[in-house]
Structure 1
Amino acid sequence: MEGHPVNTDIEAIGALHDPRRRALYSYVSRQRHDVSRDEAAGAVSVSRGLASFHLDHLVRAGLLQVTYRRLSGRRGPGAGRPSKLYRRSDRQISVTVPERRYELLAQLFAGSLDAALRGKVKTSLTRAARSWGRALGATSRLHRPATRGSVRALRELLDGLGAEPYVDGALLRLRNCPFDTVASTYPELVCGTNLNLVEGVMTGLGTDGLEAVLEPAPGRCCVAIARKGGRNA
C-alpha cells in the first residue's frame, strides 16, 4: 500500500509538521519568483545550511520543485555555477480519513450545470454565489467593524479562503485558485461563479469603490480586483 495516493499525500503533509519547514514552505509558496536558499534562510531567520536541508526535504516530498539559474545574469566562462532555486510545485494534496472524493462529486455537478447553464439555472447559480460571498463579507465586517470597506479587510478575507491575494500594479490579483481542479475542466462555469462570489464578498464588506473583473491567465486565479475608474486597488 506504500504507493497508494492517500499514503503519499499523508507523507507529504507530514513533511510540514516541523514549524521551520512549514515556515519555509509558506514563504516560498507566496513568492512570485523562484527563491534561493539564502533568501529563504533570511526570511525565516535560520542558517543557510538548515534552510537547504528543509527545502530539499520539501522537494523530496513533492511540495516544492527546483530550478537552476545564474542570479548574476552572466554567461560563459567565469560566470559561476547556476544557483539552486525553489518554487511551489503544482502538485495538489488533499487528505480525508476515511477517504472522500468531494472533487469527483464537484466535477459531476459542474458537468451537469455546464450542460444546463441556460436561463433560470445560470441566474440561480449567480444569485447563490453572490449571496454566499455577501454573507462571508458581512460576517467579517460584523466581527471587525472598524475595517468596513477597507482593501486590507478584503485581502485578509480572500487570503483566508486560500486565494493568496497580491498587488500587481493597479490590480489586486489572486495567485491561487481554490477551485482549480474543476475550473480547468469547466472554466466558464467556475470562473463566472468565482467572480460572482468575490463580488458578493465585496458587497458584504462594503467595499463600494472596487470592482471584480475576469482576467484569466496561467498560474493564477481568473479574478482580479481594481478600483472603479482605474485607480490602484
Structure 2
Amino acid sequence: MSDSWPRRRLLAILRGASEPLDAQELARVTGQHVTTVRFHLDVLTRESLVRQFQQPPRGRGRPRIGYSAVQRSVGYQDLAQVLADQLGGDPRHRSDAAVAAGRAWGAKLENPDQPIASLADARDITVTTMSELGFAPERDTATETDEQSLIRLTACPLRDLARTHPEVVCGVHLGLMREMIDRNGGRDAVNVRLHPFVEPEMCIARLEALRSTLPDPADLTDMAEVGEPRLAAPVAGRVGPQLRADPQIRNADTHAGKQSTQQR
C-alpha cells in the first residue's frame, strides 16, 4: 500500500468494524467526499487489502457495495521461530525461559476459587484450565494413584508448532500448569511434568504428589511464615508408567528440579 494516510485510516476503520461498510458510511466517518473514499477503496481492493461484498439496498435502488478488511493469517510458524531465536541458542535456556513465560501467562488468568488440599484438587484445576484453553483434557483413571494422576491432552491448539519447537511451546504450557497449581496452594506439594507426543496427537501431563499429605489450605499462611515445609520421603517400590518425555521440558524451572531430585 502506498504511503497514504487516508487509505491507512480507511483500512484501520474497516479492520475494527464488525460488518462491511459502504463508501457513504466511510465518507461520513472520515469526513471525506464519497468520490474520494471510493477512489481509495478501489486502490485498497486492487492491493487485496479489502474485499467487496454486495449488500441489500436501502429502499429502492441498486444493491450497495460494502467493504471489509482482509484478515491476514498469522504466521505462527515464523513467530515460533522468532521466539525460539530470541529465547537463546541453548535448548535448555529456551525451555527455562518458556516455562517462566508460561508462569507469567498463568498469573494473568482468572484464579479458580479452589484451594488445593489433595492431588485430586490439583488434577481438577489442571483439567478445568486446560479444557478452557482448548486442549480437550481427559483423565487417565486407570493409572491414578495416591501419588500421581495422568491427564491426556488430546487437542493441543498449537500442535504443529509444538512438534517443531517443543522447548518453546511445551515449555509455555508446562509453566502455565505449574503456575495455576502454585497459585492455589500446591507449591512444594504437587509437581507437574509434561510428556510431549506420547502418541502422534496426544501429550500427557503427569501430576505427582511430593508429600504424603498435602497441607490444609487454612494453614498455608502459617506455613509461609515459618518457612518451607519438609517433604516426606517417597513411597518405596512405587513405579509410575513409563512415558517418553522431552528432557528439555522435564523440571524446567528451579524449584521443580529440586523436588524431582528428592523423588528419584
- TM-score, length-normalised on structure 1? 0.46
Tell which structure's C-alpha radius of gyration is larger: 2
- TM-score, length-normalised on structure 2? 0.41
